[in-house]
């Protein structure tokens, strides 16, 4: 009746304090103590968690305001440092990421920032991870979630994208036209060198017409195509 109970779960660690002094880390389990003893357990969750770092408006190197939101994944690897080195390790990590993000954005132009989103995330993790580890937090990953641009800047970028797509489409059409012209030139050269090919193409076209019901096709000079003598005129004298 005069004893208190504390449960430290599998995904937690308990910091044991006796008479205000740190006495050790308690592993998962159930612990009881007498009420009149100055005995306290501070439970710390050591699971990996995600935290959103909301971006304030920051000016790039070319003086354009952007708002970047981050996602950070981390976990406590040293509960003692997480509680003793800083007053609130989550708040400390948030501020470290936000300040480092501000420095990274002010050192880049907007064009570089849009091209180097992965490089930005990598830079943030490399710079913040050692500082976070000093207060017991392992920063596993940092990623850019959103990047919001001013309305006028978005309109300009959309126009550039549209112009780029139209330019690519025009270039593809020009390539097709050049290829078609080259094919026609090659065909004309073959026909010039082999006149019989033109006649064969005509016969092929006529045969396609003749295959349709109701069409009657008369082919003059068919005998000359195969080298035969010209047909005699029925009205001439022998």
Query: Could you tell me if residue 168 is inside a domain?
Result: yes
Q: Provide the residue range defining the domain that includes 143.
A: 49-149
Do 157 and 193 belong to one domain? yes
Q: Which of 14-18, 58-62, 102-106, 123-127 has the lowest mean pLDDT?
A: 58-62
Residue written as tokens 């006028």?
A: 152
The structure's pTM equals 0.62
Mean predicted lDDT score pLDDT of the chain: 80
Query: Could you tell me if residue 96 is inside a domain?
Result: yes
Tell me: pLDDT of 9 over 90.
Answer: yes
Do 138 and 175 belong to one domain? no
- Domain boundary among the residues 120, 149, 178 is at 149
Do 101 and 123 belong to one domain? yes
Do 137 and 53 belong to one domain? yes
Do 55 and 91 belong to one domain? yes
With cut-offs at 50, 70 and 90, classify the pLDDT of residue 71: very high
DSSP states of 62-98: TS-EEEEEEEEEEEES-HHHHHHTSS-HHHHHHHHHH
Query: Could you tell me if residue 226 is inside a domain?
Result: no
What mean pLDDT is predicted for residues 34-38? 72
Tell me: pLDDT of 29 over 80.
Answer: yes
With cut-offs at 50, 70 and 90, classify the pLDDT of residue 237: very low
Do 72 and 93 belong to one domain? yes
pLDDT tens column, 156-196: 555 655 566 566 666 766 677 777 777 777 777 776 777 67
Query: Could you tell me if residue 222 is inside a domain?
Result: no
**Of 55, 46, 45, 47, nearest to 143 (Cα)?**
55
pLDDT tens column, 117-137: 889 999 999 999 999 999 999
């Amino acid at each position: 009746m005069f004893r208190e109970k504390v449960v430290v779960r599998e995904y937690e660690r308990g910091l044991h304090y006796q008479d205000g002094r740190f006495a050790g880390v308690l592993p998962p389990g159930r612990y009881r103590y007498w009420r009149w003893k100055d005995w306290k357990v501070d439970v710390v969750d050591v699971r990996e968690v995600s935290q959103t770092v909301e971006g304030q408006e920051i000016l790039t190197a070319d003086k354009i305001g952007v708002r970047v939101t981050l996602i950070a994944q981390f976990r406590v690897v040293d509960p003692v440092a997480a509680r003793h080195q800083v007053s609130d390790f989550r708040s400390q990590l948030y501020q470290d990421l936000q300040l480092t993000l501000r420095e990274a954005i002010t050192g880049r132009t907007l064009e570089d920032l849009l091209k180097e989103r992965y490089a930005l995330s990598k830079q943030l993790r490399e710079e913040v991870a050692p500082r976070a580890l000093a207060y017991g937090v392992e920063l596993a990953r940092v990623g850019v979630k959103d990047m919001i641009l001013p309305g006028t800047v978005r309109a300009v970028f959309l126009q550039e994208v549209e112009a780029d797509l139209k330019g690519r489409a025009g270039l593809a059409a020009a390539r097709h036209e050049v290829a078609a012209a080259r094919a026609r030139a090659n065909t004309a050269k073959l026909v010039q060198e082999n006149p019989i090919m033109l006649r064969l193409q005509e016969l092929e076209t006529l045969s396609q017409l003749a295959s349709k019901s109701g069409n009657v096709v008369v082919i003059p000079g068919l005998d000359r195509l195969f080298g035969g003598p010209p047909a005699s005129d029925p009205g001439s004298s022998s």
